[in-house]
């Protein structure tokens, strides 16, 4: 189970929060080939300059009552979006990638995650320089794990992150001791809570597509391998397989654009086989469940100590059933329409009078269509409303006036009237939701005492 203990902070600080930066999301073969070299790719420092400017700005304007506490609310690093391996860069590593890893991206193992973290630090040197300088000035950092940076669960990955910060501080001309850094940085697997003030989590645990199966961070019986939510399996086993597929752009494709990609850029048969193979992997644990260990616990699970009702809330929200998986891939509707057509064909073949044949066949097709419409109406795939509903339940369970999440990539500032609390979503700094160059767009939140203000940071002009 998720391991999280409610901890009261040593002192109340003013807070600076943002999320969903997805550093490393462009560490793909397609992008590397287009850039020409890794060094050329690193010249594209649009997000680095925005992040560095933001941190420098607030470092120069510290709170009156002590240092800032920077809270990164998940998906700061995009481990699952990386499909580069040491082989692609012609480098050696303390592990040998398998053929499947070369195709799909590295497996979610500790040493793989540590290597990816180091690669992200090399890709975004300016961010780690400014973060190192920020922490060297005495400010603090809380890093809340999301679904794209679940690898922060591993101590090896956390250490790689800290080493990147130390190296960045050194390059920026700041002295930062490793012990001081360890005291100023805190990693949370689930949420950050200041009782009576604020609750922060990434939000993916309220999205059954992205939540870890059974709330377990690691696979049952495999304590050194992270459990992979359905969304992670889709990205690794389908999206990463096609170098020509820009997943972020594909989210906005029309049907015509999708068909053009399938038939004129890729091989539709290969796409269909890859999609069916991904579905098979996703369905496998539902059709053939892995045996649980005695006592109902899996290796790697831990007792959760949380505000009353919070664990039950997440368990309910993140439960993905076989029916849910079928609905996700539209297999329920395909089976309904397919079954209706097969029964109609059977009626035409077996029934004797033609009027009976026609009536029965038409009735079955109409019934299948009606069931399909009913299924379509009940399909709940929008993330933002789920998070808002969860925020209301969290505010009630934790008795806090402010609930903050990311994950949906949709910035939001909403009053939760029924519990007299406020819900803020931090939006995103990456992908299709990223602000255009020169716009006042990057979302972040400032919390001073009990006052919270959602702000936007200007986006610098992109280079390269």
Highest-confidence segment of 207-211, 337-341, 376-380: 207-211
Last residue of one domain, picked from the residues 307, 342, 377: 377
Are 78 and 110 part of one and the same domain? Answer: yes
| pLDDT of res. 331 | 55
Are 372 and 435 part of one and the same domain? Answer: no
Residue 282 confidence (pLDDT) above 80 = no
Are 36 and 146 part of one and the same domain? Answer: yes
- Going by pLDDT thresholds of 50, 70 and 90, the confidence category of residue 431 is low
Structure tokens at 212: 């870890």
The radius of gyration of the chain from alpha carbons, rounded to an integer in Å, stands at: 24
Question: CA quadruple 21, 81, 91, 32: dihedral positive or negative?
Answer: negative
Last residue of one domain, picked from the residues 346, 377, 408: 377
Antiparallel, parallel or unpaired: β 421-425 and 412-416? antiparallel
Q: 24 in a domain, yes or no? A: yes
Find the farthest-apart pair of alpha carbons in the chain and give their distance in angstroms, rounded: 91
| pLDDT of res. 278 | 80
Query: pLDDT for 29-73, tens place per residue?
Result: 888 888 899 999 999 888 899 899 999 999 998 887 789 999 999
Residue 215 confidence (pLDDT) above 50 = yes
Last residue of one domain, picked from the residues 350, 377, 404: 377
Are 335 and 430 part of one and the same domain? Answer: no
pTM: 0.82
Higher pLDDT: 116 or 352? It is: 116
Are 50 and 106 part of one and the same domain? Answer: yes
Residue 292 confidence (pLDDT) above 50 = no
**Mean confidence (pLDDT) of the chain:** 80
- The lowest-confidence range among 6-10, 119-123, 237-241 is 6-10
- The lowest-confidence range among 22-31, 34-43, 133-142, 213-222 is 213-222
Higher pLDDT: 190 or 354? It is: 190
Highest-confidence segment of 98-102, 117-121, 317-321: 117-121
Q: 178 in a domain, yes or no? A: yes
> Which residues are CB-neighbours of 274 under 8 A, at least 6 positions away?
237, 238, 241, 242
| pLDDT of res. 236 | 83
Query: pLDDT for 371-385, tens place per residue?
Result: 555 555 555 567 888
Q: 31 in a domain, yes or no? A: yes
Q: 441 in a domain, yes or no? A: yes
Q: 252 in a domain, yes or no? A: no
Residue 439 confidence (pLDDT) above 60 = no
Total Cβ atoms within 10 A of residue 198: 24
Are 69 and 154 part of one and the same domain? Answer: yes
Residue 436 confidence (pLDDT) above 50 = no
Q: Number of structural domains, the chain? A: 2
Burial of 453 (0-12, 13-18, 19+ CB in 10 A): exposed
Q: 9 in a domain, yes or no? A: no
Arithmetic mean of pLDDT, 402-428: 92
Q: Helix %, strand %, coil % for the chain, to 5?
A: 50, 15, 40
Structure tokens at 456: 């936007």
Q: 422 in a domain, yes or no? A: yes
Are 78 and 192 part of one and the same domain? Answer: yes
C-alpha separations of 250 from 22, 261, 317 in Å: 17, 10, 27
What is the residue range of 360's domain? 330-377
């Amino acid at each position: 189970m998720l391991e999280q203990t409610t901890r009261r902070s040593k002192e109340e600080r003013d807070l600076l929060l943002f999320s969903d930066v997805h550093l490393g999301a462009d560490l793909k073969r397609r992008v590397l080939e287009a850039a020409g070299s890794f060094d050329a790719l690193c010249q594209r420092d649009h997000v680095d300059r925005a992040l560095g400017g933001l941190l420098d700005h607030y470092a120069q304007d510290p709170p009156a009552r002590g240092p800032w506490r920077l809270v990164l609310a998940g998906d700061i690093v995009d481990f699952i979006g990386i499909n580069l391996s040491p082989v692609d860069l012609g480098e050696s590593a303390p592990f040998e990638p398998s053929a499947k890893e070369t195709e799909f991206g590295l497996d979610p193992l500790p040493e793989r995650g540590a290597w990816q973290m180091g690669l992200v630090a090399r890709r975004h040197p300016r961010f780690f320089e400014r973060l190192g300088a920020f922490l060297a000035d005495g400010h603090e950092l809380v890093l809340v794990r999301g679904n794209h940076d679940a690898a922060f669960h591993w101590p090896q990955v956390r250490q790689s992150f800290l080493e990147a910060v130390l190296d960045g501080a050194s390059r920026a001309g700041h002295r930062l001791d490793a012990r001081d850094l360890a005291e100023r940085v805190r990693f949370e697997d689930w949420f950050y809570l200041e009782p009576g003030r604020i609750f922060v989590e990434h939000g993916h645990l309220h999205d059954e597509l992205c939540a870890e199966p059974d709330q377990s961070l690691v696979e049952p019986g495999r304590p050194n391998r992270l459990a992979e939510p359905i969304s992670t399996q889709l990205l690794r086993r389908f999206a990463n397989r096609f170098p020509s597929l820009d997943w972020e752009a594909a989210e906005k494709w029309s049907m015509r654009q999708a068909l053009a990609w399938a038939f004129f850029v890729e091989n539709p048969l290969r796409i269909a086989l890859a999609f069916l193979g991904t579905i098979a992997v996703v369905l496998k644990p539902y059709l053939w469940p892995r045996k649980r260990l005695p006592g109902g616990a899996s290796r790697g699970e831990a007792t959760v100590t949380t505000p009353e009702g919070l664990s039950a809330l997440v368990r309910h929200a993140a439960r993905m059933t076989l029916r849910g998986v079928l609905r996700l891939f539209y297999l329920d509707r395909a089976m309904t329409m397919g079954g209706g057509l097969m029964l109609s064909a059977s009626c035409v073949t077996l029934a004797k009078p033609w009027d009976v044949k026609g009536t029965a066949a038409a009735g079955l097709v109409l019934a299948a269509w009606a069931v399909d419409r009913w299924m379509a109406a009940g399909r709940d795939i929008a993330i933002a409303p789920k998070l808002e509903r969860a925020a209301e339940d969290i505010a009630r369970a934790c008795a806090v006036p402010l609930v903050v999440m990311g994950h949906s990539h949709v910035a939001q500032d909403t009053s939760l009237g029924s519990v007299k609390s406020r819900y803020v979503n931090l939006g995103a700094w990456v992908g299709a939701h990223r602000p255009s160059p020169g716009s006042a767009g990057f979302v972040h939140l400032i919390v001073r005492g009990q006052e919270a203000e959602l702000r936007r940071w200007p986006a610098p002009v992109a280079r390269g």
